[in-house]
Amino acid sequence: MELENLSIGLAITGSFCNFSEVKGVIDSLKEQKVKKIIPIISDSVKQMDTRFYKAKDFYKMLEENTKQNVIDSIVKAEAVGPKKLVDVILVCPCTGNTLAKLANGIIDTPVLMAIKSHLRNNKTVVIGVSTNDGLGKSFRNIAELMDTKNIYFVPFRQDDYVGKPKSLVLDYSCIIDTLKLALHGEQMQPVLARIK
């Protein structure tokens, strides 16, 4: 399935070191002629200033580049399912914290509520993992979600196997192909990408 004329929920969680990649993800989706990109952010993205980004600057970048209002509360996110706001949700980047909560049915952020609301319509969710403990405690949650209906993963790799041997990060070059396959009910393979 092509992405043209689809509405995509771009859900962003607090893997702050990956925020520099988000505008490129938006640009890639625009190149596919998607109908709209609706940004959905976790509470930490909305509230925390870091060495990578000021929260208000990142928020402004999202609205300017998507031309959509940011979904930034659980109340706003609950409407994703009933109003059928999006065709697919791309969680990118997705932290280990969000993975754990999603795998265990904990819904306490706008991103998690949007996913829950979307999944109840039997719709597709694609996860772009980014966590320092992907090969540690988060590994069980990746396995749980990989075996969950309608959830797919962007291929991922170790990003620093010497300095951070348990750390995983999605392969950003695989996002578009993963979305297309996931919308057909297929997981892009191989899931374990080669180290660059």
The strand pairing partners of 151, in sequence order, are: 125
**Is the bond preceding 190 in cis, omega lying within 30 degrees of 0?**
yes
The pTM is what? 0.95
Domains located in the chain, CATH noted: 1-91+104-125 (3.40.50.1950), 153-172+180-196 (no CATH)
Q: In this structure, what are the phi and psi dihedrals at residue 152, rounded to the nearest 5 degrees?
A: -130, 160
> What tens-digit pLDDT sequence spans the chain (196 residues)?
699 999 999 999 987 777 888 999 999 999 999 999 999 999 999 898 888 888 899 999 999 999 999 999 999 999 999 999 999 999 999 999 999 999 999 999 999 999 999 999 999 999 999 998 999 989 999 999 999 999 999 999 998 889 999 989 999 999 999 999 999 999 999 999 766 6
What stretch of H or E contains 99? helix 96-103
